[in-house]
Amino acid sequence: MKNIPGDLKFLSSHEWARVESDGTITIGISDHAQDLLGDIVFVELPEVGQALDAEADVAIVESVKAASDLYSPLSGEVIEINSLLEDQPEIINSSPYEDGWFFKLTPSDMSELDNLLSPEDYSEVCED
Amino acid sequence: MKKTPLHNAHIQLGAKMVNFSNWEMPISYSSVIEEHNAVRNAAGIFDVSHMSIFDFDGGNQVAFFEKIFANDIKKISRDNKAIYGALLNEDGGILDDLIIYHANNKFRLVSNCSTRDQNREWYEKHAVEFGVKVIERSDMGILAIQGPEAMNKILAIKEIDAEANNLESFGCMFDGDRLYAKTGYTGEDGLELIVPNMAIIDLWNQALKVGCVPIGLGARDTLRLEAGLNLYGNDMTINNHPYESNLGWTIDMSDKNRQFIGKDALLAIDQSQSQKMVGIILRDRGILRSGYEIIHEQGKGVVLSGSFSPMLQSSIGLARVDKGYQENGKVFIRNKALNIEFVSPRFIRKVKMQP
């Protein structure tokens, strides 16, 4: 069984979203995703201030083997990016839910959270 | 999907398996970068039993290879040696790249996995006039043990004739039906063991026992890329000739009387006008991938293979570009023009490419 924290919401394309106490949303990729990708060697992040649509491709994550798109689980505005990933993208492999977060946004429509998968539903996606 | 005799061993080691030309093969066991570094710093073992193996019986085998092989088989046909080169069609297009081994008056040929049927038909068609019988050895597989400590590890494996430790680069020897050869696809020291399927599991287990790290096809690709070794299907296809594929050095026309397939087409090529295959290093952040477009002061080009180099800690690739390139150019990654440097494809220089 993969490591799937209970306080997160997911897209079936393996992105997670966490609602922080200040109402902002942190976005990253799941443990399952980093395992599928293998060694991550490059990440291209959105820019602070950029407006995002839900499920639009907003970042690129590249492992040794291939490049993959990252989709934003929610619409909103990017308020912070994890600049640590620029020099140490391998953090995504070692800490996908904590140090390896991608970016934070202020959501434009919190009700979009209801469209996301619960940890239980996401774990079924990973089983397939 | 086809499986090698080591399929269960890979599963037991927790390998991620992928479909590679209809063979179920391990892409990695732990991490591609860790496996890559194990080969650069110590010793790794690869199951490459998906490759095609052919033996030959009877007839005039030297004359047969003189005709179908663009390198000159006479370089090795009196020695216990291996030779790398290309199989060309009449138009000079590359049908495949391959290694022919010769020892104890026997030839054995190893070519790619995806070209198996095409090559068998090609060999059989051209073997007739020389009275040569083509024998596909699907009862055999290949292990590669590679790395700076590979030969020490091999010495510790009792199953392997100790004589194998005396082989020089591209040297080879038969031990019964087993062929031991100092060849590889990593740029490192080491052997390739072309052995009957029945012997493979035992050899694999012994190699693991003496400390060889199992290496998947993921690291095999980054290792060969750092060594500047072409991958058929990526870096060259039937639509490419050797001079634009960094294989000019394998075309041997020194014997004026030798009429090999594709020779006339190659003679008609103006090499000074040909595109060239070069190494590229990305000087900005990002990863080079196959298909990305390149420009330089006097022309354009395309990335053929691209990945991350654990040794250089940046992205490297092989590219085919118009002549007239200088030191620097640009590559387009997702509509952004990033800086590349043109270099020799031999990103690392450790082992000789030919005897």
Contacts with B286 from chain A: Cβ below 8 Å:
42, 44, 62
Is the confidence at residue B355, as pLDDT, over 50? no
CA B170, B172, B173 angle in degrees (round to 5)?
170
* Radius of gyration of chain A, Cα coordinates, nearest whole angstrom: 13
**Do the Cβ atoms of B308 and A86 come within 8 Å?**
no
Contacts with B287 from chain A: Cβ below 8 Å:
41-42, 62, 67
Sheet containing A40-44: which strands, arranged edge to edge? A40-44, A57-63, A67-71
What pLDDT was estimated at residue A2? 65
**Do the Cβ atoms of A65 and B287 come within 8 Å?**
no
A1 or B104, higher pLDDT: B104
Residue A48 three-state SS: coil
Counting residues of chain B whose pLDDT is more than 90, the rounded percentage is 98
Is the CB of A60 inside 8 Å of chain B's CB atoms?
yes
**Do the Cβ atoms of A60 and B27 come within 8 Å?**
no
Helix (H) or strand (E) holding B99: strand B94-103
Residue B196 CB neighbour total at 10 angstroms: 14
Question: Length of chain A, please?
Answer: 128
Q: Mind listing the pLDDT tens digit for each residue in B13-71?
A: 999 999 999 999 999 999 999 999 999 999 999 999 999 999 999 999 999 999 999 99
The residue of chain B nearest to residue A43, with distances taken between CA atoms, is B286
What pLDDT was estimated at residue A49? 97
Residue A102 three-state SS: coil
Is the confidence at residue B350, as pLDDT, over 90? no
In angstroms, the CA B50 to CA B45 distance is 15
- Among residues A111, A88, A112, which one has the least CA distance to residue A101? A88
CA-CA-CA-CA torsion sign (B11, B13, B16, B17) = negative
Per-residue confidence band for A1, with pLDDT thresholds at 50, 70 and 90: very low
Is the CB of A39 inside 8 Å of chain B's CB atoms?
yes
Cβ-Cβ pairs closer than 8 A, A with B, add up to 41
Beta strand A76-81 pairing with A51-52: antiparallel
Domains (range + CATH), chain A:
9-112 (2.40.50.100)
Which string of b and e fits B139-177 if b means at least 16 CB within 10 Å?
ebbbbbbbbebbbebbeebeebeeebeebeebbbbbbee
Per-residue confidence band for B354, with pLDDT thresholds at 50, 70 and 90: low
Contacts with A44 from chain B: Cβ below 8 Å:
286, 334
pTM of the model: 0.95
- Bridge partners of B193? B143, B180
Is the CB of B222 inside 8 Å of chain A's CB atoms?
yes
What pLDDT was estimated at residue A127? 86
SS (H, E, C) B208-240: HHCCCEECCHHHHHHHHHHCCCCCECCCECCCC
Q: Six-digit token pair at A44?
A: 């291209």
Q: If you average pLDDT over residues B181-192, what whole number do you get?
A: 97
Contacts with B20 from chain A: Cβ below 8 Å:
none
Do B248 and B271 meet the contact criterion of CB atoms below 8 Å apart? yes
Least Cα separation, residue B287 to chain A (angstroms): 7
Is the confidence at residue A42, as pLDDT, over 60? yes
In angstroms, the CA B259 to CA B129 distance is 14
Q: Six-digit token pair at B195?
A: 């052995």
Least Cα separation, residue A73 to chain B (angstroms): 22
Is the CB of A99 inside 8 Å of chain B's CB atoms?
no
- Which of A41, A60, A93 has its CB closest to that of B308? A41
Do B355 and B183 meet the contact criterion of CB atoms below 8 Å apart? no
Residues 6+ apart with CB under 8 A from B162: B155
Residue B338 CB neighbour total at 10 angstroms: 18
What pLDDT was estimated at residue A6? 87
What pLDDT was estimated at residue B349? 75
Is the CB of B315 inside 8 Å of chain A's CB atoms?
yes
Classify the complex by whether its ipTM is higher than 0.95, answering yes or no. no
Beta strand B106-111 pairing with B16-20: unpaired
